[in-house]
Amino acid sequence: MDPFDAGDVIMVAESTTSGASTQSPLPRALEQPLLMGLFLPLQSGAWNASTLPRSTDWSFDFNLHCALEAERLGFDLVFGLGQWMGKGGYGGAMRYREQALDPLMATAGMVARTQRIPLISTVHILYGWHPVLLAKLASTLDHMSGGRWGINAVFGYKPRELALFGMEEISYEDRGPMVEEFVTIMERLWTEDEEFAFEGRHWSTQGAFLAPKPRYGRPLMVNAGTSPAVIDYAARHSDILFITSPGGSVPKNAYATLPAHTGSIKERARQQGKDLKLLIHPMVICRETEKEAKAYAWAVLDHADPVVAQAFTDSFLQGKQASWKATDYESTVLGGNVNLIGTPVQIVDHFLKLKQCGCDGIQVSFVGFEPDLAFFGEQVIPLMKEAGLRV
């Protein structure tokens, strides 16, 4: 017997080296009436500056369980937050977010255990990265996941984080051009079949080439923010932009301010020939009755750590984060950019209003992830389908 005879082998056609394919797993998610993502609790304390006991944990095993449950329930993506904390995190008795997994490594670990759901990793691309290295890691994760991996490329601006990497503060005016050069190099590596040189003001490379290319042209590109520089970047490069409510987290204030905000962003994207999807982060507190939902929200607030709430808010006010100017104490403790509290019917009504305000999707989080995610899947998602928000 020939030891090199593999017998009857099923051959799998290789993907092309460049160019998009209609077989990409991403279009289904982007074409949903309301895209539905899950914000993973990769950090201790998750999203709530509260010591209320709850079944939420920052460990990899717990987050993998959440990702698998989100996949089972039909979510369109899971998303990992990136941050760089010092000893004690945001402080307080709870040492908020001192423990935090890296989202790039965490989602890489989830790739082999999931089958369908796209995985999005946050990367602060100005914190010591070179575009050639990140492009290679991204292409590798793209192949490991079958084209289900995406990158949330964020600028970063907090002085403490920059100091951690031995960097001086980057001016607001310089951040945009730096990221533009960085992502341009990555996109060329992902799509061009010949070596190239790039000499920019901030980044350079000689003999640049990448193989293998991402399976479907390039990974899903995401970014977050509200500044003009971020919006201009998203209009040129991103598929999804995470936005915040200019009116803060109270739903009626969010609904009053979001339409103008989302309209201006979409118009900017249209000028670049892009259909940019806008996602917002609701904290969902949902129970069978409105009374129960409100009681749980008050329990979260009653266990607030005021030191954490103040430190967390102050950290965002260091930069030009316009939407965070409207943040109040309660919204920080509850944790969402818009806090939705009520019955399954009321939650779906809120989702409909967010869609009417120009939001193409929601990136939900919970206080108690394990029971609340299960309840959301059982009670809320069927109503979303009835309302035409899911197909």
What does the pLDDT look like over 161-181, one tens digit per residue? 999 999 988 887 888 889 999
**DSSP assignment of 262-300:** HHHHHHHHHHTT---EEEE-EEEEE-SSHHHHHHHHHHH
Percent of the chain scoring above 70 in pLDDT: 91
Place of tokens 């984080």: 161
The CATH number of residue 337's host domain is 3.20.20.30
Contact 76, 34 (CB under 8 A): no
Three-state SS annotation for 5-67: CCCCCCCCCCCCCCCCCCCCCCHHHHCCCCEEEEECCCECCCCCCECCCCCCCCCHHHHHHHH
- Pick the residue with more confidence: 350 or 12? 350
Mean pLDDT of 189-214: 97
Work out the pLDDT band at 118, boundaries 50, 70, 90: very high
pLDDT at 7: 38
Residue 3 has pLDDT above 50, yes or no: no
Residue 146 has pLDDT above 90, yes or no: yes
Nearest to 44 by CA among 310, 223, 308: 308
Work out the pLDDT band at 10, boundaries 50, 70, 90: very low
pLDDT at 329: 76
In sequence order, what are the residues at sequence separation of 6 or more whose Cβ sits closer than 8 angstroms to the Cβ of residue 174?
202
Q: Does any domain span residue 15?
A: no
Residue range(s) defining the domain that contains residue 117: 36-386
Q: Does any domain span residue 242?
A: yes
Q: Does any domain span residue 29?
A: no
Residue 243 has pLDDT above 60, yes or no: yes
Residue 21 has pLDDT above 90, yes or no: no
Mean pLDDT of 329-336: 86
Residue 109, class by beta-carbon neighbours within 10 Å (0-12 exposed, 13-18 middle, 19+ buried)? middle
Mean pLDDT of 321-350: 82
Residue 204, class by beta-carbon neighbours within 10 Å (0-12 exposed, 13-18 middle, 19+ buried)? middle
Strand pairing category for 361-364 and 204-208: unpaired
**DSSP assignment of 138-178:** HHHHHHHTTS-EEEEEE----HHHHHHTT-PPPPHHHHHHH
Q: What confidence tens digit (pLDDT) does each residue in 81-103 have?
A: 998 999 999 999 999 999 999 99
How far is it, in rounded angstroms, from Cα 168 to Cα 165? 9
Residue 129 has pLDDT above 60, yes or no: yes
Q: Does any domain span residue 16?
A: no
Mean pLDDT of 24-40: 87
Residue 138 has pLDDT above 60, yes or no: yes
pLDDT at 6: 37
Which letter does DSSP use for residue 377 in this model? I
Contact 86, 45 (CB under 8 A): no
HSE value, Cβ hemisphere, 13 Å, CA-based, for 89: 23
Q: What's CA 292's distance to the chain center, in Å?
A: 29
Residue 351 has pLDDT above 60, yes or no: yes
Number of domains in the chain: 1
Place of tokens 């929200």: 297
pLDDT at 25: 73
Place of tokens 């960085």: 182
Mean pLDDT of 223-232: 86
Q: Does any domain span residue 271?
A: yes
pLDDT at 23: 62
| Cis check: omega of the bond before 212, within 30 degrees of 0 | yes
Cα distances from 66 to residues 39, 118, 366, in angstroms, run: 10, 13, 11
pLDDT at 327: 59
Q: Does any domain span residue 7?
A: no
Q: Does any domain span residue 2?
A: no
Mean pLDDT of 335-345: 96
Nearest to 267 by CA among 220, 236, 235: 235
Q: Does any domain span residue 25?
A: no
How many CB atoms are located within 10 Å of the residue 159 CB?
A: 14
Mean pLDDT of 10-22: 38
Mean pLDDT of the chain: 89
Contact 334, 297 (CB under 8 A): yes
Mean pLDDT of 38-59: 95
